[in-house]
Amino acid sequence: MSDIVLYTILTVTAVGVTAATILYFAAQKFKVYEDPRIDQVEEALPAANCGGCGYPGCRNFAEVCVNTDDLDSLFCPVGGNETMASVASILGKAVTEQAPKVAVIRCNGQPQFRARTTEYNGAINCTIEHMNGAGDTACQYGCLGGGECVDACNFDAIHMNAETLLPEVIDDLCTACGACVEACPRDIIELRTKAKKDRKIFVSCVSQDKGITTKKACDVGCISCSKCFKVCPYDAITMGNNIAFIDADKCRLCRKCVVVCPTSSILEIGFPPRRVKEEKVVAKEKPDNVDNKEKNA
């Protein structure tokens, strides 16, 4: 009886030792060297796996960071400068600070400004609606309101506003990963450099139609009248494709363009109310801008 127990123990031990020896040599033979710094860098990254850096996930980004000489061309929009600095310190490389960005919706075609001319009856999906034509308004460039940007956002930073039927970005949650920019079939969303106190001035229209066509389709569209272009003291505004564009890096937030815009297509967000004298002008010409300010305050 005790023999059986003994033999069993001996056999199992022998098998175990043999297997362990084979495994040990196999592991030595097929060993893959992996830079331990990749794990360290990955640890330092936010693990959002959003693809905002341009690589499929945080692990891939970490590999690229370790293998490259120049960190300046790489940036993790979620972690920002802090994360990039810690990555640089792990790797012993230098990195320059980049200005943080935020997504803005460049369309203000709320129902009261942009009349519905037709009824869209297909699947609720921006890309499908975009493929089928101009959408249910006469503007072929504006927001379709299907909410694909909302689905694309990993950080819960975009929501549809039930009143305006337009998406809204929550600046504090937005990491500027660019997922919404990619998802939008109409290229309405733009990543803009953040200004101090999260203040923003931008042309909330992307219509490339001629002024008269834009005006017919939407009350707050940019009609490319060039008034803002002429008034801007800092050369921040460029005109092209029947649209004005404000360069966030050059704009000094003086708000002169907002006052001259005849269609209120330039939005000012995050500013304190204007002084009494100016407020009259604002109240007269831009009631919707005041609305927007309050909404975003």
Partner 1 sequence: MLKTFPKGGVHPPENKISADKAIVELPLPKKVFIPISQHIGAPAKIIVKRGDIVKVGQIIASAGGYVSANIHSSVSGKVAKLDKIFDTSGYRKDVVVIDVNGDEWLESIDKTTTLIKDISVDSEEILKKITECGIVGLGGATFPTHVKLKVPPKKIATTLIINGVECEPYLTSDHRLMMEKSEELMVGTQILMKALAVDIAYIGIENNKLDAIQKLSELATQYKGIEVVPLKVKYPQGGEKQLIKAIINREVPSGGLPIDVGAVVHNVGTTVAVYEAVQKNKPLFERIVTVTGKSVKEPQNLLVRIGIPVIQLIEAAGGLPEDTGKVISGGPMMGKALNSLDVPMAKGTSGILIMPEDESKRKDDKPCIRCTKCVSVCPMGLEPFLLMTLGENQLWERNEDERIMDCIECGSCVFVCPSDRALLDYIRLGKNKVGQLIRERKVN
The encoded tokens of residue 194 equal: 């953040």
Closest distance to partner 1 from the beta carbon of 132 (Å): 6
Nearer to partner 1, 83 or 208 (CB): 208
- Is residue 123 involved in binding partner 1 (CB under 8 A)? yes
Contact 93, 72 (CB under 8 A): no
Give the nearer residue to partner 1 in terms of CB position, either 40 or 49. Answer: 49
Task: Give the nearer residue to partner 1 in terms of CB position, either 136 or 171.
Answer: 136
Q: Does 49 bind partner 1 (CB under 8 A)?
A: no
Tell whether residue 219 is a contact of partner 1 (CB under 8 A).
no
Cβ(121)–Cβ(217) below 8 Å: no
Binding pattern for the stretch 127-146 against partner 1, x by CB under 8 A and - elsewhere: xx--xxxx-----x------
| The one among 210, 256, 280, 295 contacting partner 1 by CB under 8 A | 210
The residue among 38 and 134 lying less far from partner 1, judged by its C-beta, is 134
Q: Does 125 bind partner 1 (CB under 8 A)?
A: yes
- Given 54, 122, 273, 287, the residue binding partner 1 (CB under 8 A): 122
Cβ proximity to partner 1: between 86 and 213 the closer is 213
Token representation of residue 165: 């039927």
Does position 241 interact with partner 1 (CB under 8 A)? The reply is: no
Q: Is 118 in the site for partner 1 (CB under 8 A)?
A: yes
Interacting residues toward partner 1 by CB under 8 A: 117-118, 121-123, 125, 127-128, 131-134, 140, 209-210, 213
